[in-house]
Amino acid sequence: MPKREDIRKALIIGSHGNAIPSALETVENKSQNLVASYELERISSAIYGRLFGVWDLDSNILVTVDEDFRCYLFEKAKITFHSYKKIAEIIGVSVPYVYHIKNGRYHFTIKILRKICDVLHIEDHIIESHIVSLTTKRGGKVGALLPLSVCPDLACLVGHTFGDGTIPRSKPQFKYFNTRPELVLEVENAVLSVFQAYPISKTQTSVTYSSLVGEILQKIGARRGSKIESAYDVPDWIRNSKSNEVKKAFIKSIFDDDGSILISRKFKACNINLHLASTEENINNLNKFLFQIKNILSEFGVVAHGPHIRNKYSVKCQRRAVLYLIISDRESIRNFYMNIGSTHAIKRRKMETILSRPVIYTKFAIRRMEKEIERFILVEKAVTTRQTANYIHTARSTAYKRLQKMWRTGALSKTKVKSNFVLWEVKAGAQI
């Protein structure tokens, strides 16, 4: 690493318009390398969208930048303003405080860093590429991966705040509670990926992160406070995202926490449910939230019914209501399993059990299947059993039974072309 005196001399020579020696070039080359890595982040931001940058943080957050960049900032500022006293006046601190920041004994605050970078005309993305860590005055610390861009891990964390995660109003630490170890591990990996942060407290069923993580999540749309008493929406950056992976991560985390799967051994009932509770004052908001979830599910080919009111009850004179969505048809359950999935091992096995069962057609399902066959034959005029089965996504034997029934009722005619080849057509004069 070049010595600070070499950098200072380089800046003096550079300020007179002469060739800049290798000491400063070394610092600038390191800066270029970091900016190059930042450009990779910008590519991700272009795909998913920039969401949160350094200036979106609270002005009192403490910032650590790498040593070369810190040295570069102060030497450039000294050459520009000729003394540290002038620098202290510009940023509104004492001269000893400037020396402490310069020597790395004190951290920048967001407010001071912005003032320095504004007067030195340093671009935001250059600053963000040199930030090493962020710290609150209470001691919460995260690594620096700024700017935050929209990504599946971030959507997953926001989704968990609507489920078994919470950001208390008293102290905005992000806490997650779940008895399933795979879900706790998912949250740990997502926080590490997005924030480069480790839990400040951990048990077998819970993890707790610093208030800095909670504050950032809250600013990008995560729920804070009591889930029952809060009003909330699906964040715009998730709802309007062009990435299915982002929406999938959000929906999956909510259903992993608050979803349930019903499998009846005696009856045909099999469904996926999402139950959420709210006070009666916030019931309209919860209804809107569930409609937003329902619309996102439809983008994955999942038909959800509701929201329906399950029941109303009172707790300490406070009236509450439970609303739910239900996914009941087999095709939607299959699409949920294939397109969204579940990290929750038990729920995933339950969906696999549902899909492994033989198909049992209800009267309603049979009527819907026959309507699809009618539309297909009206368009194609003449079809084979195989073509019909492929169109309605079922076994040939099932398609043949339905075609035979329609033939017996006089709606279709069949022509035997070969010993094992039948052509089905609309019968002349038949009303379909």
For residue 32, is it left (φ>0), alpha (ψ between -120 and 50) or beta? alpha
Let me know whether 138 and 152 are in one domain.
Answer: no
Let me know whether 89 and 191 are in one domain.
Answer: no
Convert the pLDDT of each residue in 418-432 to its tens digit: 767 788 888 766 555
- Residue 431: inside a domain: no
**Residue 306 — very low, low, confident or very high, per pLDDT cuts 50/70/90?**
confident
- Residue 123: inside a domain: yes
Let me know whether 110 and 134 are in one domain.
Answer: yes
- Angle at 403 (CA atoms; ends 398, 329), nearest 5 degrees: 45
Convert the pLDDT of each residue in 392-420 to its tens digit: 888 888 888 888 888 888 888 888 777 67
- Residue 241: inside a domain: no
Let me know whether 114 and 10 are in one domain.
Answer: yes
**Residue 5 — very low, low, confident or very high, per pLDDT cuts 50/70/90?**
very low
Let me know whether 139 and 170 are in one domain.
Answer: no
Tokens 């407010």 belong to which residue?
A: 111
Terminal CA-to-CA distance of the chain, rounded, Å? 84
Give a three-class secondary structure readout of 344-393.
Answer: CHHHHHHHHHHHHCCCCCCHHHHHHHHHHHHHHHHHHCEEEHHHHHHHHC
Q: One-letter amino acid identity for 195?
A: F
- Residue 235: inside a domain: no
> What pLDDT, on a 0 to 100 scale, did the predictor assign at position 360?
67
Cross-strand partners of 165: 176
- Residue 165: inside a domain: yes
Long-range contact pairs involving 97-100 (C-beta distance under 8 Å, separation at least 24): 98/74
- 1-15, 110-124, 271-285, 291-305: least confident range: 1-15
Let me know whether 68 and 156 are in one domain.
Answer: no
**Residue 24 — very low, low, confident or very high, per pLDDT cuts 50/70/90?**
very low
- At which of 143, 172, 199 does a domain end? 143
Let me know whether 259 and 351 are in one domain.
Answer: yes
Let me know whether 100 and 158 are in one domain.
Answer: no
Let me know whether 134 and 155 are in one domain.
Answer: no
Is the confidence at residue 247, as pLDDT, over 50? Answer: yes
Model pTM? 0.74
Tokens of 144: 């620096």
Let me know whether 220 and 280 are in one domain.
Answer: no
Please tell me the total count of domains within the chain: 4
> What pLDDT, on a 0 to 100 scale, did the predictor assign at position 31?
47
- Residue 157: inside a domain: yes
- 204-218, 288-302, 336-350, 414-428: least confident range: 414-428
Convert the pLDDT of each residue in 163-182 to its tens digit: 999 999 888 899 999 999 99
- Residue 432: inside a domain: no
**Residue 49 — very low, low, confident or very high, per pLDDT cuts 50/70/90?**
low
Let me know whether 403 and 346 are in one domain.
Answer: no
> What pLDDT, on a 0 to 100 scale, did the predictor assign at position 52?
80
- Residue 237: inside a domain: no
Q: What is the CATH number for 295?
A: 3.10.28.10
- Angle at 177 (CA atoms; ends 172, 180), nearest 5 degrees: 155
> Domain range for residue 94?
4-143
> What pLDDT, on a 0 to 100 scale, did the predictor assign at position 43?
40
Average pLDDT, the chain: 82
Let me know whether 35 and 80 are in one domain.
Answer: yes
Q: At what angle do helices 67-81 and 110-119 cross, to 10 degrees?
A: 50
